[in-house]
């Protein structure tokens, strides 16, 4: 995900973008649980909550070799932008966004996520209301580019902008508790919600890439992982 890093530092001069036709299918295009032949333990860097930020970058050394072997079996890799998302308790949420440089619905992208937190916490997907506009977020005007430099990351995916929308201009279309390994459609607008009064929510988020480096779409992921998908 590529949006502001601090709730105290809002986006700078968001650009209003034209409305695009919303992409729909006749089935859930947002989320699936997936069975994996390995376990990923909660990264050590997730031991405590964050105070101002909701995003950190995770060192690949925290990931097991079995993950990379499994990816290779599917002719996939993950981006070097390995994200950790924190959603604080008591109604915490990360901003609504998509994870691509193109508007939602034009081309999807898939992530493999692992979440630790309360069973009541969810990921939510949103649809733009008719007649409303997306907001284009240019990351030259946020702290995202600076955060890559501080983490020593030269991103291998395009992340110079993303899209958001005013909360009054969207409607909820899907939500899921991510209490198992999951594939998520991050080309669509989404965010998190944590109503638990005390428990923190942490998510390890891995962007799935086809070789040599193109985004794996959610539809492609459903076909590639069809024997491992758990139906909701």
What confidence score (pLDDT) does residue 20 get? Answer: 33
Q: 15-39+50-226 architecture in CATH?
A: Sandwich (2.60)
Phi, psi of 24 (to 5 degrees): -130, 155
Average pLDDT score over residue span 2-22: 39
Rounded Cα distance between 159 and 139, Å, is: 8
Read off φ and ψ for residue 216, nearest 5 degrees.
-80, 125
229: left (phi over 0), alpha (psi -120 to 50) or beta: beta
Summarised one tens digit per residue, pLDDT across range 71-125 is: 999 999 999 999 999 999 999 999 999 999 999 989 899 999 999 999 999 999 9
pLDDT of 180-225, one tens digit each? 999 999 999 999 999 999 999 999 999 999 999 999 999 999 999 9
Q: Within its chain, how far is the Cα of 24 from the centroid?
A: 19
Q: Is pLDDT at 44 greater than 70 in this prediction? A: yes
What are the backbone angles phi and psi of residue 7, rounded to the nearest 5°? -65, -20
Distances (CA, A) of 158 to 47, 79, 153, 183, 214: 30, 10, 13, 20, 10
Tell me the C-alpha distance between 169 and 222, whole Å: 29
- pLDDT for position 232: 61
Q: What is the pLDDT of residues 47-79, one digit of tens each?
A: 999 998 899 999 999 999 999 999 999 999 999
pTM, full prediction: 0.87
């Amino acid at each position: 995900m590529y949006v502001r890093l601090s709730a105290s530092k809002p986006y700078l001069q968001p650009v209003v973008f034209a409305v695009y036709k919303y992409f729909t299918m006749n089935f859930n295009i947002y989320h699936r649980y997936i069975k994996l032949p390995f376990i990923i333990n909660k990264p050590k860097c997730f031991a405590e909550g964050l105070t101002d930020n909701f995003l950190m970058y995770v060192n690949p050394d925290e990931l097991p070799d079995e993950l990379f072997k499994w990816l290779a079996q599917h002719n996939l890799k993950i981006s070097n932008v390995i994200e950790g998302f924190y959603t604080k308790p008591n109604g915490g949420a990360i901003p609504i966004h998509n994870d691509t440089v193109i508007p939602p619905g034009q081309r999807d992208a898939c992530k493999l996520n692992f979440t630790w937190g309360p069973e009541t916490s969810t990921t939510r997907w949103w649809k733009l209301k008719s007649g409303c506009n997306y907001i284009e977020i240019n990351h030259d005007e946020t702290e995202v580019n600076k955060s890559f430099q501080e983490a020593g990351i030269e991103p291998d995916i395009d992340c110079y902008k993303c899209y958001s929308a005013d909360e009054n201009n969207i409607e909820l279309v899907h939500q899921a508790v991510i209490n198992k390994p999951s594939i998520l459609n991050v080309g669509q607008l989404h965010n998190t919600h944590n109503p638990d009064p005390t428990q923190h929510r942490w998510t390890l988020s891995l962007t799935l890439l086809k070789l040599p480096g193109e985004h794996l779409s959610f539809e492609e992921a459903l076909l590639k992982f069809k024997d491992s998908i758990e139906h909701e």
